[in-house]
Structure formats: structure tokens, C-alpha cells
Amino acid sequence: MSAASIYSSDDEDEIPKNSGVYLGFIDADFETTDDEPTIEDSFVGGQPVWLNPNSKPSDDLISCQNCTGPLSLILQAFSPLEGTLYDRVIYVLGCQKSTCSRKKGSIRAIRGIQKDPKKLAQLEKEQQEELQNLFILDAKLKLDNARNINLFDTKDSSNPFASSNPFASSTDSNPFTSSTDSNPFDSKPTPKKEEPTKPSFASTAAKAAPPTPKSTKKSTIKTLPEYPGYFIYVDQESFKKKQQPNLPENFKIDESALDTEAEISSSGNTSKDLSPEAQQLSNSLQDSVFQHFTDIVSYNPLQVLRYELGGKPLLFTSKDDTAVKVTKNLIPNPGYNPSSSRQFELQIMPKVIMDFEKNITDISQGINWGTIFVYTDVEDYIPELDENHVGYVEEYVGVQWEEEVSR
């Protein structure tokens, strides 16, 4: 099988025109723009923007669980939930040391919440004003429509339909109003005083869930080692004509890998006759899950992020523990809210590796994950907040690594 054939599929007609997935694409890099990233931006690389500069996660949350060194930001995604009135950010961080690659705890995800009372009050005020304006506009439209309905006005002798209206009384021009009132909307009871906004499901769940012990540890890490930073923009996924990705100038094809592929495609040998390297590559190419991954990505090859809260991830391979957990619904419940469960939220795609390593010529010791899944609490549990109304909790990360090829 040639490398190009991975990007083709006989099932192309079965793929829908669009999906419920939102894709993130590289916009501008931090070096060529004067804009500084803010909480309300989503970006990859660079330094994280914490919800409050004086409220950073504790050192243990932003450190590698293998070498204990500080992690690097891979993704920061501003992801507030509909119906909530607080800031919410997902941070994904990873260790750059090759010795920690493929080890548990080398890539981690944090969900941050900021529930500032002043901001909440302002947002609630804006919502109340918007609702009031909509109510007034709706009332005006109904009143205008009512004034234009004259067909059944029994007091108008020039109306040819006046005598034939079975619903009109001799004393009232409007069958839906009282004899002392000509405005059909004035007969409505006086609107009740607007009740306070009902709490969201997430905030209700947070009150019901067991409290998280407040950490007394303060972050002592000033800055993190970083990858190049890029803003990202989001667009809904669509399946138009397939595109071939634009490879960076420094991208080099491993000729030995091409020789291996040629060995697989032209030898006609059975699997036991192939070299160990060729056998492993052959197994990868024969993985239907991986082929589906490359087929879907080929429609939008520049995607660095997939976002679909409550959706399904796009598996990179079917041959690891992460695939088993995803397909058999074995994602662990959040320890901080054990009665709840987790749902898929976002996925980081391998294209971002090219952007992080654009200035690196030797990538043999570079990043070697295939994709990263993040699952978050269904109830969006709100941790105990500090004096700046900020709190952080760790969420589940599933990493699918590139298959190791022995030489």
C-alpha cells in the first residue's frame, strides 16, 4: 500500500457533508502579532494564561509525574458551557523530555474555573436586560398585529364582514377583550416580578457534590518551558474535496521507511517473511481504525483541534489501552466527584507537532504522540475556589502514541 492510498477511501460517498465537530486551525503565531493571548483566547504553545495571575495551579498539577519537572503548555482552550455564568478553561500540558515519552503522567489536563461574583452580577444584569428587551419587543409586535386586524370590527359600518362575524358581540369590537378595554394585551395579568436566574445544572451539581479539600500549596514555578505559540480559530467540520497537507520545508521522508513500505507492497511475502520493521509498519497500515483516522483527517489536514462536548473521539489506533477504555466506556469517574462520570470534550491532533517542531531539523527525538483525548466531568463540578474565586481540577487524558518501530 502506498502512502498516498491512505488518503483515499471507497466509502467516501458514505461520509456526511458536515458533522457536529468543531475544528481548530492555526491562525497567527505569537511572534508575528502584537496581540497578547487572553483568557478568552484559544491557542497552542506559549505560556498559559491563568484565570488570575495570582491564582496559578499548584506545582504538583503542572509537573511531570515521572521526572517531576515543569510541563509545557500544549493547548489552552476557552470553553465556557452554555447556561453557565463563569469562566472555564481547559489546559493540556506535556513533558518535553524524551525520557518521559510514552509514560503515564507525562501529559496532563487541567480544568480551571473562575466564578467572580462581580462578573456574575454583571452577566446576570445583562441577561435580565436582554430578556426584558425581548419581552417588550414581542409585546409591541403583538399589539401592532392586533391593530391591523379589522375584518371583524362590528363597530365599523363600512366593514362588509361586520354582520357575519359569529364571534363578535354587539358591544365589543374585540372578542378577546373586556367591554372597557380595547387593548387585548392590557387584559393580561400584570407580569410577575422576574425571578432570579435559576442555577445551572453544573452549579447545582457542584453544591451537591462533596467538597474538594482546599490545597494550601502555592505555585512556585514562575514560567514553563514552552513550545512556539499560535492562536487558533474554530470552524465547523465539513467534508468537501480532500486536500493534501502542506508539509513544512524542513520535513524529510525517511528513505528506509519508504524501502520498508516497498518491501511490504511488492514482496508478496507472508508476514513471517518480513523484517521486524516491515512487520510493524504493515500492521499499522492494516489497522482499519488508523485508516479511518487518516481518511477523516484528509478532508481537513490542517486541523490541530477537534471539539465536540459529549461526542466521540477520532481514534488514532485500535491497539492500545486508550482505545479499549474509549470503545468500552471505561473512562474513570472523576475522583473529586465520584458519583459523576466523564464525557469526551476535545482532542489534540498530530498536525500541531509540525507547528511545534517547525524550526527543528532532527525530529528523531521529538514529539511522538499520535493524538490526545480530554474527558471532563459531566456535571462540571466546581472545586473550592480561592480568594480570587479560582479553582483547578485535573481531568482524564488519553494519549495514543505513534507505534514504535524497532530497527
User: Is residue 144 predicted with pLDDT exceeding 60?
Assistant: yes
DSSP letter for 263, please: H
Contact between 230 and 30 (Cβ < 8 Å) = yes
**Cβ–Cβ < 8 Å for 55, 383:** no
**Cell numbers found for residue 187:** 387584559
- What average pLDDT does the segment 202-212 reach? 40
pLDDT in tens, 303-355: 999 999 999 999 999 999 999 999 999 999 999 999 999 999 999 999 999 99
Exposure string for 185-217, b = 16+ CB within 10 A, e = fewer: eeeeeeeeeeeeeeebebbebbeebeebeeeee
Question: Among 65-74, 268-277, 316-325, which stretch is predicted with the lowest mean pLDDT?
Answer: 268-277
| Per-residue pLDDT at 34 exceeds 80 | yes
| List of residues 6+ apart from 267 with CB closer than 8 A | 273, 274
Q: What is the pLDDT of residue 135?
A: 87
pTM for this entry: 0.70
Of 361 and 66, the structure prediction assigns the larger pLDDT to 66
Q: What percent of the chain has pLDDT over 70?
A: 66
Cell numbers linked to 71: 510541563
Specify burial of residue 126 (Cβ count, 10 A radius: 0-12, 13-18, 19+). exposed
Task: Tally the residues of the chain.
Answer: 407
CA neighbor of 55 nearest in space, from 406, 387, 395, 397: 387
Lowest mean pLDDT among 126-130, 170-174, 276-280: 170-174
Higher pLDDT, 110 or 169: 110
Residue 406: is its pLDDT beyond 90? no
pLDDT score of 182: 39
Closest CA to 84 of 112, 55, 123: 123
Q: How far is CA 44 from CA 79, 82, 84, in A?
A: 14, 23, 25
Res. 364 pLDDT band, cuts 50 70 90: low
Higher pLDDT, 180 or 56: 56
Helix axis angle, 276-285 to 255-267, nearest 10°: 80
Taking residues 140-154, report their average pLDDT.
Answer: 68
Listed by start position, the domains of the chain span 4-116+203-401
Q: Residue 258: CB partners within 8 Å, gap ≥ 6?
A: none
Give residue 241's pLDDT. 75
User: Closest by alpha carbon to 1, among 278, 276, 245, 241?
Assistant: 278
182 or 403, higher pLDDT = 403
pLDDT surpasses 50 at 173: no
In 3-state terms, what secondary structure has residue 89?
strand
Q: How confident is the model at residue 403 (pLDDT cuts 50, 70, 90)?
A: confident
Q: Which pLDDT tens digit goes with each residue over 213-266? A: 444 467 788 899 999 999 999 999 999 877 665 655 555 545 554 454 445 445
Rg (CA), the chain: 29
User: pLDDT at residue 275 above 80?
Assistant: no
Q: Is the pLDDT of residue 395 over 60?
A: yes
Which of helix, strand or coil describes residue 114? strand
pLDDT given at position 26? 96
Mean pLDDT, the chain, whole residue set? 77
Quote the pLDDT of residue 359: 76
Higher pLDDT, 207 or 38: 38
* 64 vs 244: which has the higher pLDDT: 64
What cell numbers appear for 170 in the block? 354587539
pLDDT for the residue numbered 265: 46
Distance CA 135, CA 188 (A): 14
